[in-house]
Amino acid sequence: MVEALKNIVGLENVLHDGAEKARFSHIWATDIPLVAKGVVFPQTTEQVSEALKLFNSHGQEVVIHGGLTNLVGGTQTTSNQWVLSLEKMNVIEEMDESAKTITAQAGVILEQLIETAAQKNLFLPLNFGAKGSAQIGGVIATNAGGMRVFRYGMTRTLVLGLEVVLPTGTVISSLKKIIKDNSGYDLKQLFIGAEGTLGVITKACLRLYEQPTSRYAALVGVQSFQEVVSLLRLMDKNLSGNLSSFELMWNATYCAATSVNIAQKSPLPQDYPFYVFIESLGNDLADDYVLFEGGLTRAAEKKIIVDAVLAQSKREVEKLWSIREDTHILRQSFVATQHFDISLPISVMDAEVASIVADLEAFPFVERVLPFGHIVDGNIHLIVGKKDTTQQNSKKINAIVYRNLKKHLGSVSAEHGIGLDKKDYLYTSKTSQEIALMKTLKQTLDPKNILNPNRIF
Ligand SMILES: Cc1cc2nc3c(=O)[nH]c(=O)nc-3n(C[C@H](O)[C@H](O)[C@H](O)COP(=O)(O)OP(=O)(O)OC[C@H]3O[C@@H](n4cnc5c(N)ncnc54)[C@H](O)[C@@H]3O)c2cc1C
């Protein structure tokens, strides 16, 4: 196997015999050596195809590694598995300014794509805290969301073309730049959000937008959840389509975010029940400011908001926004954490989050529960800070967070996926018929179950 792999990708692109231990399976666990048979680093689609043919013919399990930022154990491995890393497939192949598309290999870091597009005044709207490490292949494999879903949709809506290698080695290439294509099944959708269970994404063509020329941001303090909802409607209406983000932090989370990180001083007093981060993106510097400030003024007049800080420069916008983006600092003060990204209808969110927090904080092994989220998409994140790491206690926490999802037709994963960590709870969001169909697809495309086995179900 090792010799055959070296023949495919070259000597220097295979790590094994202990050398793989210099790697790791998650960016938050760089001190824990990778457990695997070895790591292979293809540089071309053909090499991915040959490697998968080899793995498949031996019935060898293989786990795909992208930027290793997922939050569901998707890149964990065992000692009998190989790792296929996309790290060396990191070329941006084309930017088409007239079609407004960018085509890249799967291992390109998301932030690099964003910056490359910006150099041509084009805009890739994907934005989340891990953008400096996540690879576009991993972002597509997890159908990542982030902070601009309300206006631009999930990753899925930005993917125009995709190239994928099936577990058997067959290359399915459709790097189209067109938006409309009803020529039968839209096959790329099968692989977007499939968490690498159906194929290895090797290239993608993404849709770009005109780079906005105005960006305004504000942080506001709000007294009740009902007023948060009223504020959302008011700003959506008043910004004439410019509203691009509307992110909520509950008081405990805001206080933690602005107290843990000493560099991140709180721009507002820390005693409001809710804090909302609002972003407007538009194309007229002066008019957009009037709209944005006008919206906030109207909200203040109606007493929907009780306090606000409006960023006055690009640096201030980034600083304000970093309170919301740098949520990884929230985990640092706890012995252990559990992360949740549930979806709920906005109408039940307030009561549901309150009851989850109260019941979790009643456990002696739970220190704090920190809720925040992409409220406008019905997506709540919870970081549960714990005093221990026992499985038994983790399950008790899961049971409370997931207990009403089915009843409210919510989802166990708004954006992070299922991976290994949430498999037991897939049933809260999918019917048995849906799960059976998913298994049929997996069996059809990966009959030997070699690629990212045991993920999702
Ligand atoms: C601080 C932080 C903030 C985050 N915020 C958000 C957020 O706001 N919204 C959100 O949606 N997510 C968020 N995430 C998680 C997000 O899903 C991941 O950051 C990202 O989408 C995964 O990309 P990656 O390259 O790191 O993939 P990895 O973690 O390497 O892999 C993720 C999964 O995809 C598979 N995979 C990787 N590459 C490929 C490929 N080329 N082909 C097929 N399968 C592949 C892997 O096997 C694994 O199952 C956040 C994560 C962090 C650490």
Beta strands in 390-456 (DSSP E): none
Cα torsion 283, 160, 196, 90: sign? negative
Nearest to 326 by CA among 148, 147, 118: 147
Asked whether residue 376 carries a pLDDT value surpassing 90, the answer given is no
Note the pLDDT tens digit of each residue in 150-181. Answer: 899 999 999 999 999 999 999 999 999 999 99
92-210: CATH topology is 3.30.465
- 147 — pLDDT class (breaks 50, 70, 90): confident
Using a CB cutoff of 8 Å and minimum separation of 24, what contacts does 30-35 make?
34/77, 34/83, 35/77, 35/78, 35/79
What pLDDT, on a 0 to 100 scale, did the predictor assign at position 264?
63
Indicate the SS3 state at residue 234: helix
Question: Are 202 and 166 spatial neighbours (Cβ–Cβ below 8 Å)?
Answer: no
Buried b / exposed e along 261-297 (16+ C-beta atoms within 10 A): eeebeebbeeebbbbbbbbbbbeeeeebeebbeebbe
Mean pLDDT of 77-83: 98
Domain boundaries, the chain: 2-88, 92-210, 214-328, 335-441
Quick one: average pLDDT of 436-445? 98
Cα–Cα distance list, 78 to 30, 38, 190, 416 (Å): 17, 11, 26, 22
Asked if residues 102 and 116 have their Cβ atoms less than 8 Å apart, the reply is: yes
Backbone angles phi, psi at 277, to 5 degrees: -100, 125
The reported pLDDT for the residue numbered 106 is 98
Write the DSSP symbol of residue 211. Answer: P
The whole-angstrom separation of Cα 182 and Cα 75 is 34
CA of 220 to the centre of ligand 1 (A): 30
The CATH class, in words, for 214-328 is alpha beta
CA distances from 56 to 52, 165, 195 (A): 6, 12, 19
Residue 360's SS3 state is helix
Residues 212-266 have pLDDT tens digits of: 999 999 999 999 999 999 999 999 999 989 999 999 999 999 999 998 655 567 8
Token pair recorded at residue 85? 């890393």
Q: What is the pLDDT of residues 32-67, one digit of tens each?
A: 999 999 999 999 999 999 999 999 999 999 999 999
pLDDT by residue (tens digit) across 112-127?
Answer: 999 999 999 999 999 8
**Closest-lying ligand 1 atom to the alpha carbon of residue 327:** 1
Compute the distance between CA of residue 264 and CA of residue 241 in angstroms, rounded to an integer. Answer: 31
Structure tokens at 91: 């070329």
Rounded to whole angstroms, the Cα distance separating 181 from 104 reads 21
CA–centroid distance, 181 to ligand 1, in Å, is: 27
Residue 451's pLDDT is 98
Residues 263, 231: Cα–Cα separation, whole Å: 29
Beta bridge partners of 92: 104
Instruction: Please compute the mean of the pLDDT values over residues 272-293 and round it to a whole number.
Output: 96
The residue whose CB lies within 8 Å of the most ligand 1 atoms, and thus the one to mutate among 26, 89, 128, 454, is 128
Question: Are 92-210 and 335-441 the same fold in CATH?
Answer: no
Burial class (CB in 10 A: 0-12, 13-18, 19+), 431: exposed
Q: What CATH architecture does domain 2-88 belong to?
A: 2-Layer Sandwich (3.30)
Give the Cβ contact number of residue 96 at 10 Å.
Answer: 14
Mean pLDDT over all residues of the chain? 95
pLDDT the model gives residue 6: 98
Residues 454 and 457: their CA atoms lie apart, in Å, by: 6
In the reported structure, the alpha carbon of residue 347 is separated from the centroid of ligand 1 by a whole-number distance in angstroms of 29
Q: What per-residue confidence (pLDDT) applies to 398?
A: 96
d(CA 114, CA 68): 19
How far is residue 314 CA from its own chain's centroid? Answer: 25
- List residues near ligand 1 (CB under 6 A): 63-71, 74-75, 86, 106, 128-130, 134-135, 137-139, 141-142, 144-146, 195-196, 200-201, 328, 415-416, 419, 452, 455
Q: Is the separation of the CB atoms in 219 and 268 below 8 Å?
A: yes
Q: Tell me: the pLDDT tens digits for 416-430?
A: 999 999 999 999 999
Q: Is the pLDDT of residue 359 over 60?
A: yes
**Tokens at 327, concatenated:** 């949520």
d(CA 360, CA 401): 8
Does domain 335-441 sit in CATH 3.30.70.2740?
yes
User: Is the pLDDT reported for residue 191 higher than 60?
Assistant: yes
Query: Which atom of ligand 1 approaches the CA of 155 most closely?
Result: 11
